[in-house]
Structure 1
Amino acid sequence: MNTLFVFFLASVLVVYGSENNLQESKQQKTSCVNYCSNIMKPVLNVTRNLQNQVNDFKHQTKCLSQFESTNKMMEEKFASQDKKIDQKLGDLSNATEEIMEQIKLQGKQVEQQMEHLHKTEELKKQIPGPPYQKIGSKYYYIEESEEVNWFRAVNKCLILGGHLVNFQNQDEFNAVKGKLQANQDYWIDLNDLAKEGEFISVATGQKPKFLNWHIYEPNNEN
């Protein structure tokens, strides 16, 4: 009996001692975990903050990349628009220059037309009416009723704003002669008052370019 008791008691002691050791071990592990947890908690917090910052940085980097891409697209779009605007401005400038040239040309044409019209009006004012008549390219007044001497004839022509006829060629002579009455005498502007036999035109003060004297003319008869 005594032997069994002792053995059993020893077993109980051994088992009891093992349970105590196990509890102490658990307590030590719990303490270690708590200690480590307390130590690692700030580190984990810092790590978590760093990770958040990294995530924020990645997000910002992504946003920046998207912004740069968008900005590049906008710059390219603006550059394209600027190029189109420059081209349109160039086209507009060329068109404006062409329009200005056309305006200048039209203005010049209008000036020429106005000048021509003015000259035409002035010419119309200068063209004499009756009793003047156009023969060839000139206008003549032929006196058919009043007979005067050469000096009176010169003076009367000056009063009328003209001069005695001064023939330039055979055609003009023939044209005027066809308007004159037959068997009538008419004065011309030639005279040899300064020097006998040297005829000078009253209109030009020079020797005539054309002479067509009748036979036995000139003479001082009558």
Structure 2
Amino acid sequence: MMNYFVLGIFIFLLLESFVYTQEVEVVVENKDNQCDAYCFKVLRPMLEHISVMQERWEFCNSSKLANTSSRLDKIESQLVAQEAKDVSYAAAIEETKMKLLEQKSLIENQKNINRKPFQKVGSKYYYIEEIQQLNWFGAAHKCLEFGAHLISLDDQQELNAINSKLNPVNAYWTDINDLSEEGTFLSLTSGVRAKFLNWRTGEPNNADRSEHCVYLFGAYSHMNDFKCSSPKYFICESFDA
């Protein structure tokens, strides 16, 4: 009999415990629902703000990408334009080079036309004019046409070598003169005092105060000052060694 009584009490306690558990779960569930509604209400403005910021960020990002793309396109256009200019400049430079080469060729051809048969005497090359006589200035210009200058003697050895090629009865203009200052004989080629002078006895005498250019007399290898306007033969010395 006691056993049935204890069993009944145990069953009653189990039922009470179950009912209590159900009531607690209902209360908790109601509280959870209340919390969810409250939390959503509190967080909603923040969520909306985040959404707006996200939209703005996407817009700004898109705008930046568009600006960057536009700048890149502009830079690319500038590079293409610069490349076109470079090609144009290169073509112009190449054309100028070709024209310069053509001019150089024409000059060389003209020089070859005007060039006289220079002969090597000692260590230098000379052209000795034995047909045409010119005044000192004309002779200087004629030598330039040949790509040379009037002879500029360095020493007695050079004089002896060239004298062996001269007609002994002719006189030949040299590049020596005292046009800038009486008595100061300069080389037209170098612009400084003549390196070597071999005067004839009694020379230079500047006769009639009008003798300022120096010629070489073939017979004795002597020098004499004379009127620059007087026509004489001449010796051209090549600029090339």
Higher share in helix = 1
Structure 1 and Structure 2 fold alike (TM over 0.5): no
| TM-score w.r.t. length of structure 1 | 0.41
Of structures 1 and 2, the one with the larger relative CO (CA 8 A, separation 6+) is: 2
